[in-house]
Amino acid sequence: MCGASGAAFGVAILKKLIQKDSISQIALMISATGKRCLHDEVDLGPEDLVALSPKVSLRSDQNVGADIASGSYRQDGMIIAPCSAGALGRIAWGVSNNLISRAADVCLKERKPLVICLRETPLNRVHLENMLRLHDAGAILMPLMPGFYSKPKDFEDLFDTFALRVLDQLGYSDHDPRRWQG
């Protein structure tokens, strides 16, 4: 989770990952500004997210020597939600100076799914070019743009429906009545 608005989306995605029986471990990274947004927007701290499940363990964004900084670490992929324009730029240009950007770099080089949920608007040319650059490098660009065709009954439903679509990208698909039925 980076320092962009939309912490609630990140929390919804984390909760959905926790529910998946096939997932045994979730390495959670929250940047310094990400912690601030998490607190300001949803009144939560990293410890609250770790407390959700024993599957969740925290990695310091400053620790570029953590397990997930290595391509030898076995993993299914990485979701950055919310992703700041700053993190987008760092990853697009290979500036692996913190764990989030290094772990993302590892996903790209190891050909593991990297889902980037950018939150910024409006988008300038740098953002657009960086998105295209990352798309071409294999990342999945999934800006925080939820669909409304499922008629979400509240914000939680909206966040959860978006989380469903994010998990689809990593192959963790569920039957869900909120999918478009035609």
Ligand X SMILES: Cc1cc2nc3c(=O)[nH]c(=O)nc-3n(C[C@H](O)[C@H](O)[C@H](O)COP(=O)(O)O)c2cc1C
C-alpha separations of 56 from 14, 75, 121, 181 in Å:
9, 14, 31, 34
| Position 37 contacts ligand X (CB under 6 A) | yes
Residues of this chain, 123-182, that bind ligand X according to CB under 6 A: none
Where are the strands (E) in the chain, listed by range?
Answer: 26-29, 56-59, 78-83, 114-118, 140-141
- Regarding 8 and contact with ligand X (CB under 6 A), the answer is no
**Considering the rule CB under 6 A, would residue 78 count as an interface residue with ligand X?**
no
As measured in angstroms, the least distance from the Cβ of 182 to ligand X is 34
Least gap, CB of 4 to ligand X (angstroms): 3
Pairing mode of beta strands 114-118, 140-141:
parallel
Among the listed residues 89, 82, 79, 64, the one whose alpha carbon sits nearest the alpha carbon of residue 5: 82
Contact status: 84 vs ligand X (CB under 6 A): yes
Stretch that binds ligand X, among 28-36, 46-54, 67-75, 135-143 (CB under 6 A): 28-36
Interface with ligand X by CB under 6 A: which residues? 2-5, 31, 33-34, 36-37, 40, 84-87, 119-120
